[in-house]
């Protein structure tokens, strides 16, 4: 396996990610927050080369459809917020 990749983040992305996590927990509950956070951490590990796709697939296969939809919405929102933060940093 190749050396693990590093991921750089600015403070705005970390702040927005924490804020989004707080909103997911408040409106979706701890179970949804934990699932989204597990998928997020697994995605980061996969990007870094620490784990492979099969570990992520096993976790997603056992989730119910509504949880998958809510998880996707959470990731979509985080991606949009991260892009906004990166755009603001570039200006």
- The answer to whether position 26 is within a domain reads yes
Cβ pair 15, 88 in contact under 8 A: no
- The answer to whether position 1 is within a domain reads no
Percent helix, percent strand, percent coil in the chain, to nearest 5: 80, 0, 20
- The answer to whether position 61 is within a domain reads yes
In the three-class reduction of DSSP (H, G, I as helix; E, B as strand; rest coil), residue 64 is classed as coil
Q: Is the pTM of this model over 0.85?
A: no
- The answer to whether position 41 is within a domain reads yes
Phi, psi dihedrals of residue 49, rounded to the nearest 5°: 85, 15
pLDDT tens, position by position, 4-23? 555 566 787 788 888 888 88
Residues of the domain holding 48: 16-90
- The answer to whether position 60 is within a domain reads yes
Q: How far is CA 52 from the centre of its chain?
A: 16
- The answer to whether position 2 is within a domain reads no
- The answer to whether position 86 is within a domain reads yes
pLDDT tens, position by position, 63-73? 666 777 777 77
Structural domains counted in the chain: 1
In the three-class reduction of DSSP (H, G, I as helix; E, B as strand; rest coil), residue 86 is classed as helix
């Amino acid at each position: 396996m190749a050396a693990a990749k590093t991921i750089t983040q600015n403070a705005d992305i970390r702040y927005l990610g924490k804020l989004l996590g707080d909103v997911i927990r408040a409106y979706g509950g701890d179970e949804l927050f934990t699932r989204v956070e597990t998928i997020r951490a697994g995605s980061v590990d996969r990007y870094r080369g620490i784990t492979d796709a099969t570990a992520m697939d096993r976790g997603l296969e056992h989730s119910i459809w509504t949880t998958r939809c809510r998880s996707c919405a959470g990731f979509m929102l985080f991606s949009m917020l991260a892009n906004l933060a990166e755009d603001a940093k570039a200006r």
